[in-house]
A = this chain, B = another copy of it.
Amino acid sequence: MRATIMYSAGDVRVENVPDPTLQQPTDALVRIVRACVCGSDLHPYHDMPATPGGTPMGHEFVGVVEEVGGDVATLKKGDFVIAPFAWSDGTCEFCREGLQTSCRHGGFWAGNGIGGAQAEAIRVPFADGTLVKAPVSEDSELLPSLLTLSDVLGTGYHAAVKGRVNERTSVTVIGDGAVGLMAVLSAKRLGAERIILMGRHKSRTDLGIEFGATDIVAERGDEGIAKVRELTSGDGTHVVLEAVGHMPAYEQAIGVVRPGGVISRVGVPQYEVAPVGFGSLFGPNVTLTGGPAPVRAYIEELMPDVLDGKIQPGKVFDRTVNLDEVPDAYRAMDTREALKVLVRP
């Protein structure tokens, strides 16, 4: 089959690789109907060292079950399924608690012998625990929105849930990428009435307004902080959803969070140490939370809103490519020509 492999920063190729096969009785094989390129795929696209064997890419997909192992109980050939960006057994205590990203036997796509999702097909470990059936056919117009349940919608929602957004909290969202926009939509869904979106790409912030942002702050750094404080009587917002992952975004979060507030991070941190002392988090009793979203925990909760058309997160896709065009999708997202690219294998 055809699959996307990254060999080093900037070097993405679509190649012929062996077809995946069932390896465990708990596996399923899924033919991928839609996949996409993630903002987090751009991190290795920027800095991956040369890797002779290459690394399969992609961790978001919806598709059709082609074959299941003998122990798979809840799925059968022909089921349309959504996959979260981490696979998980569904039975350990972390899974039962809704923290599937810490599953005792789980892991991430595109590693440890599991392929990537920017491909024609994929082997899914712990299929019963990992996949969620969706009552749609593969020509449904809802596929882009359902695909966001794989990662970006659940990730934005995780930020808002961990930040304890509700109707009494004001919110700043840092970042107008797909996750930031999903964080806006999620904050709105949880009742926030004031949602300040920090971003400087008009087409994206316009979509942010459509998703529920009430204010746009295009300035960055100290200027951006001053602007948010000006909009909030000098105090900042109760919750800051940080959807970037770079240090300037962290510093911005510290600058705009209200005393006693919460910074909830879902942008994968590209730093290990950061200010947390008296002058940043401790003095004003600011809480720092977030992490890789256990999106599996949110798919069932959010899917009805997608099926009903109440939310249309699929609007974050502004370009569609076939598999062979995936390298150009990376380029387009990297240069910000495209917000998020849908892949039809």
Contact string, A294-321, partner B, CB cutoff 8 A, digits 1/0?
1000000000000000000000000000
Contact of A277 among B162, B271, B277, B286 (CB under 8 A): B271
A48 CB, nearest partner CB in chain B, Å? 16
Contact of A276 among B102, B274, B283 (CB under 8 A): B274
* Interface residue A125 (Cβ < 8 Å from any Cβ of B): no
CB neighbours (8 Å) of A260 from chain B are: 94, 97, 99, 102
Contact A282 B259 (CB under 8 A): no
Chain B residue at minimal CB-CB distance from A250: B276
CB neighbours (8 Å) of A276 from chain B are: 269, 272-274, 276, 288
Contact string, A244-283, partner B, CB cutoff 8 A, digits 1/0?
0000000000000001100001001101111111111111
For this chain, the copies found in one complex come to 2
Contact A281 B287 (CB under 8 A): no
Whole-angstrom CA separation of A278 from B274 in the bound complex: 12
Contact B292 A283 (CB under 8 A): yes
- Specify which of A101, A268, A291 lies most central, judged by the most chain B CB atoms within 10 Å of its CB: A291
A contacts, CB < 8 Å to B: 94, 97, 99, 101-102, 162, 259-260, 265, 268-269, 271-292, 294
